[in-house]
Amino acid sequence: MKPACIFDLDGVIVDTAKYHYLAWKRLANSLGFDFTEHDNEQLKGVSRIESLKLILRLGGKQLSELEFDAALIRKNGWYLEYIQQIGPGEILPGAAEFLRSVREYGMRVALGSASKNAVLILERIQLLDQFDAIVDGNKVSKAKPDPEVFLKAAEELGVQAEDCIVFEDAVAGVQAARNAAMKVVGIGSEAVLQQAHFVVPNFMGLRIENVLARFS
């Protein structure tokens, strides 16, 4: 069977990772502590709820259940504010072309993202029609590094886990793909994404044939 590709969204297809960071930083600051870009690496790919738990641990802060829920709503409100203007211009370099080449090659494509805002973002950047299956934060209950999101994507595509190639920018996402026994291409820094099978800085100039050759 032809392998299929599963793409993470934030930081892989679209440049929203910076807006998640800004919104979390704003929340941390409002709670009286700072939150650095270095700390943010741990949050990439991690669900909204798990991210807040991690931030509170980093800041040594405890919230009541009500305050916790209110903080989640505030963060998402800010995030939605930041991405209000988002459009195809924020698609990461080479990502749309790579996606198109994968489809032209005859491979099936799924989204595997922890984000509950995934469909909204795909609509805004006009890539929604490029996916055969979309598994997002509304469809899963376990956060990456749990493999649930990618296993569900494989199931929706009707392919075996071992026939899937995942594209991920986050440590937790790379681990999730590994935990699903899938192949994984890291998008970003080799130093950070050491558990990926291989890492590219971005999709510029990347061809699906080269990716397949690496795994053959």
- From the list Mg ion, ligand G6P, none, pick the one residue 48 interacts with, judged by a Cβ distance below 5 to 8 Å according to partner type: ligand G6P
The nearer residue to ligand G6P, 76 or 130, going by C-beta atoms, is: 76
- Break the chain down into helix, strand, coil percent, rounded to 5: 50, 10, 40
Supply φ then ψ for residue 119, to 5 degrees: -65, -40
Q: How far apart are CA 11 and CA 174, in angstroms?
A: 13
Tracing tokens 């989204």 back to the chain, one arrives at 111
- From the list Mg ion, ligand G6P, none, pick the one residue 117 interacts with, judged by a Cβ distance below 5 to 8 Å according to partner type: ligand G6P
> Binding residues for ligand G6P, how many (CB under 6 A)?
18
Query: 7: burial class by Cβ within 10 Å (0-12, 13-18, 19+)?
Result: buried
Q: How far apart are CA 103 and CA 201, in angstroms?
A: 22
Q: Is 124 in the site for ligand G6P (CB under 6 A)?
A: no
The candidate with the shortest Cα–Cα distance to 177, out of 201, 207, 208, 198, is 198
Looking at 102-110, 112-120, 181-189, 199-207, which segment touches ligand G6P (CB under 6 A)? Answer: 112-120
Smallest gap from residue 130 Cβ to ligand G6P (A): 19
- Asked if 163 is an active-site residue, the reply is no
Q: Is 137 in the site for ligand G6P (CB under 6 A)?
A: yes
Q: Which DSSP symbol is given to 47? A: -
Tracing tokens 């599963």 back to the chain, one arrives at 6
Looking at 38-46, 62-70, 92-100, 187-195, which segment touches ligand G6P (CB under 6 A)? Answer: 38-46
- Asked if 10 is an active-site residue, the reply is yes
User: Per the omega criterion (within 30 degrees of 0), is the bond before 147 cis?
Assistant: no
Q: Which of 99, 107, 114, 171 binds ligand G6P (CB under 6 A)?
A: 114
Task: Lay out the site mask for ligand G6P across 4-33 (x = CB under 6 A, - = otherwise).
Answer: ------xx--------x-------------
Q: Is 196 in the site for ligand G6P (CB under 6 A)?
A: no
- Greatest C-alpha distance within the chain: 53
By the criterion CB under 5 A, which residues form the site for Mg ion?
Answer: 8, 10-11, 45, 169-170
By the criterion CB under 6 A, which residues form the site for ligand G6P?
Answer: 10-11, 20, 43-48, 51, 76, 113-117, 137, 170
The residues that are catalytic are: 8, 10
